[in-house]
Structure 1
Amino acid sequence: MLIEFSVENYRSIQEKQTLSMVASEDAKMLNTNTFIIPNTDKLRLLSSAVIYGANASGKSNLLRAMQTLRRLVINSATKMQVGEKLPIEPFKLNSESAKNPTNFEVIFIHQDIRYEYGLSLNRERVYEEWLIAYPNEHQQNWFSRQYIPDNPKFQVDEGYKWSFGKGLKGEKLRIKKFVRSNSLFLSHAAQNNHPQLTEIFEWFQDEINILNPSSHAIEFTLSVFDEDDSFPERVAKLLNQADIGISGIKIERKPIPEGLLSYFNQFIKQEIEQLERDVIDDIQKVDVITLHKMNDSDKEIEFDMDDESDGTQRLFEMAGLWLYVLQYGEVLLVDELDRSLHPVLSKALLKMFNDPEINKNNAQLIFTTHDTILLDAEILRRDQVWFTEKDKSMTKLYSLLDFEPREDESLQKGYLRGRYGGIPFINGLSI
């Protein structure tokens, strides 16, 4: 469960910006759009949050920052080479910020324990890394590292001052020896099967899911089909309820012809030669077939998914991840939810996260959109609506709560009229 995410000095974000999933004291839709944090009755979290903003205002960069943090945790120990540049892009429109490190901080709950994890880094090195745990709501500083080069005041190891708390058990000093200036202690700890820190690593790896225009979501959907026999039926049901005329889904797998494999072999000869022969034989072409009922009988006719509309293909790509996250109570980040989808369908997808009968395991959805039909006080609480806007070329993130709209105020009209900001100011276009 995500409580809060903060980022500073990343792409269009110069100053620290924080997205909070903590619910306000507003009693409206309290039992549908929020849920109680485990082991406490004092704090509630939001089941969903939407970010509006003009094009190039930075709303996608906020999700991209979360994706970058996840990628750093997952890959830094195994896929980063010594001296390799870190995937960090500081704010470039300020001479000081361009030289300063980027900062990430995330507060989350995993296995009923609250954690705070933070990083400060640039393309060359990690400057700070730290993790705080709150078992039974008691603070424990598990570990920290800080880059302090050539400072005789501190005992440093290759420029770093390290600290380990009593709450962090198991091997620490041995794992510390593997950590490079461009890698994370958390990543190396998971690679070395540290019991406590592997749990944290798995939260980043398994419970943060990203769906953006460049995602290969269809691959996830198909992989879920292989793992769970009930998923094709559930996806078909979702498509059927979306009123797009699909009554069922079939997956057909066919071996790739030997001639085509030979063609691939020209480009990836070494890789193919390293594969066992039976593995090559198992390489398959996957066809997704949709079933449609005839309008004059109960007979069903088959269509190739490629022949369906862009919206239908988009919904199928999303469906596996959407249903999976809801089933297992994970976090889903979606950039441009409205892409190729009808507004009514976007609304229905959002409502799934805000329906406790469907969202039984407290999954969370964070998405960007331009679709103002979702700005409806009957769908979203005010604390679920966020905006991004450029101020002196830097992204500002702020909540609808800052404006205290009236209970009867039309949020959609207010937004389009510029009352809350987050829209482009255009004097007219010409050629």
Structure 2
Amino acid sequence: MLLKFTIENFEVFQKPVELSMEANLHTRKFLSNVIQSSQGNALKALAIYGPNNTGKTCTIEAIVAYRDVLLNRPFRFSANVFSGSNVVRLGAEFLSDGTRFTYSFDYDTNAEAYQREHFGRIEIDEYGNRKEIVYFERDTQSKTSYSIDAKLRDIIGLSSKDSILIYAFDTSDFPLLDEAKRVLRKLADSIVFLNMNQISPLKTIEVLKKPDTIEAKKVVSLIKAADLDIDDFQYAESIEIEFKSDDDKDERLKKAIQNADQLMDQLRLISVHRGKPLPSIKFDSSGTKKIVALASYIVEALEKGKILIIDELDSGLQFKISREIISLFNNYINASAQLICTTHDVSLLDIKTLFRKDQIWFTDKDIHQAYLYSLAQFTAEKDGVRSESDIIDKYSKGAFGALPDPSLVEALLSVSEEGE
């Protein structure tokens, strides 16, 4: 489970910012929204708001880049163009099987080399005091390194700058390095990223190909609950579809079906409306199709304790559906899954029945830099933000920043006046 994520000099973010999923239990409200542990209390869901091009998607891209590095996958990201530095720093604190770890790295995007790494285990006692045991760290610029493992300490300086340390050596010879590799890969494997504007139903198709599994039944149940007009939803291995109209659109569809296996797979998704089986690809709305694609990821995240990251959660979804998805995570039935989403849906700004204040985050920027901050930073004493506050009204009035002021009409009128 993710507790903290830090970003520095990554794309829109120049100065360090931190996204925290660690709950402050001085606030006892909505404890069902928190996974409690002696080593850190993790928020189950978090929503990020902000104007376009202020860092919402960039925050998500940073977490995905971090994941890809940990899985030794190809990646490409850029440093902030205004900083004068090519070095990106990404880091996280997270829980793995009840133990708290921290891992960060610096990466030179021009040289394509790692400059620094740090991995440690953090212990928090009953009084909240922190103690860190450093498993390993290295700095390829100053050519310094350290490990509590003497055998590893002797060879860290020989490691390549082209990869992180867990991939530089055969970890089976170094128990602490092997443990680091195991927990880092476990964290990375748990991170699933979805863009609602590009989501595909292929995962749901694979689940529904085994209709008798619990997973498939839960996926179907979610789809039916999200669209009250659907009696059932299924994948049909063999089905004949009747096209009654003869217009060009249906002719093109029939030709495409004959020539595309993947499209044929999608055609076999059948939604049953009032007892009549119909091809979902032709008869269901774009919103329903997104729910179909999303359902399998939600079920998997809740069942397996994944960190599900969704860009533009509200894209194509009715606001009640977005709210219900968040409620699935903010629920006692969820023991270990987390949801991070970006959204423009102000109806979700609800600290009376849906979110804790520390679950709502904002991005904003000025001519100097981009910012990332939480609603929890706005206090009752200073800002008048209380548990009974109308957050939607305050946000709409610009009380939290993170609100565009486009003045589109004035912009067009000014151009028209210049041309007169």
Structure 1 residue 211 corresponds to structure 2 residue 194: yes
Q: Distance in 2 between matches of 1:393 and 1:316?
A: 42
1:6 counterpart residue number: 6
- Gap change, CA 1:217 and 1:24, over 3 Å in 2: farther
From the superposition, tell whether residues 285 and 229 of structure 1 become closer, same or farther in structure 2 (CA, over 3 Å).
Answer: farther
**CA 301–203 in structure 1, closer or farther in 2 if over 3 Å, else same:** same
- Summarize the alignment of residues 115-154 of structure 1 with structure 2, pairs less than 5 Å apart: 115-123=101-109, 124=111, 125-134=113-122, 139-148=132-141
For the residue of structure 1 that corresponds to 2:105, the secondary structure is strand
- 2:71 aligned counterpart, secondary structure: helix
AA matched with 1:34: V
Q: Which amino acid aligns with 1:147?
A: T
Q: Is the 8 A contact 1:190 1:198 kept in 2?
A: no
Residue 43 of structure 2, aligned match among 43, 46, 50:
46
Task: Mark the runs of 5 or more structure 2 residues left unpaired by the alignment.
Answer: 126-130, 239-255, 380-384, 413-420
Q: Which runs of 5 or more structure 1 residues have no equivalent in the other structure? A: 80-85, 150-159, 255-259, 265-281
Judge conservation of contact 2:119–2:180 (CA < 8 Å) in 1: no
Aligned mate of 1:87, from 76, 81, 100: 76
Superposition map of 1:290-301 within 5 A: 290-294=270-274, 299-301=275-277
Q: Residues of 2 paired with 1:214 and 1:231: CA distance?
A: 25
- Structure 1 291/220 Cα, relative in aligned 2: closer, same or farther at 3 Å? closer
| 1:423, distance to aligned residue in structure 2 (A) | 0.6
Letter in 2 for 1:387: F
Measured in 2, the distance between the counterparts of 1:173 and 1:222 equals 51
The match for 2:89 is 103
Length-normalised TM-score, structure 2: 0.80
> 1:306 Cα shift?
4.5
Q: Which deviations, in whole Å up to 9, do the C-alpha atoms of 1:277-322 show, x marking residues without a partner?
A: xxxxx9995234223242xxxx332323343211111111111111
The answer as to whether partners of 1:250 and 1:290 remain within 8 angstroms in 2 is: yes
2:349 is equivalent to residue 369 of structure 1: no
| Cα drift, residue 424 of structure 1 | 0.2
| Equivalent in the alignment of 1:156 | none
Residues 233 and 272, structure 2, Cα contact 8 Å, conserved in 1: no
Say if 1:187 and 1:201, in contact at 8 Å, map to a contact too.
no
Supply the distance in 1 between the matched residues of 2:42 and 2:61 (Cα, whole angstroms): 22
1:406 alignment partner, one of 383, 386, 399: 386
Q: Secondary structure at the match of 2:201?
A: helix
Q: Is the 8 A contact 2:13 2:371 kept in 1?
A: yes
RMSD: 3.0
Q: Percent identity?
A: 24
Do 1:88 and 1:122's aligned partners in 2 also have CA atoms closer than 8 Å? no
Residue 230 (structure 1) shift:
2.4
Shift in alpha-carbon separation, 1:135–1:226, aligned structure 2, 3 A: farther
Find the partner of 2:306 among 325, 330, 337.
Answer: 330
CA-CA distance at 1:132 after TM superposition: 0.4
After superposition, where does 1:239-388 map in structure 2 within 5 Å?
239-253=223-237, 285-287=264-266, 288-294=268-274, 299-356=275-332, 358-359=333-334, 361-377=335-351, 378-388=353-363
Counterpart-to-counterpart distance in 1, 2:170 and 2:222: 37
Relative to 1, partners in 2 of residues 1:48 and 1:284: Cα closer, same or farther, differing over 3 Å?
closer
Range with bigger deviation, 49-58 or 132-141: 132-141
The equivalences for 1:17-56 within 5 A come to 17-37=17-37, 39=38, 43-56=40-53
Aligned residue in 2 for 1:423: 403
Structure 1 counterpart of 2:164: 184
Shift of the 301–58 alpha-carbon distance from structure 1 to 2, 3 Å rule, reads same
Note if contact 2:171-2:178 (Cα within 8 Å) is conserved in structure 1.
Answer: no
Whether the 8 Å contact between 1:190 and 1:201 is mirrored in structure 2 is no
* Pairwise CA distance, 1:221: 3.0
- The TM-score normalised by the length of structure 1 is 0.78
**2: CA distance, partners of 1:317 / 1:64:** 21
CA deviations 1:81-123 (Å, max 9, x no partner) are xxxxx6231111x2xx232411111000012111000011122
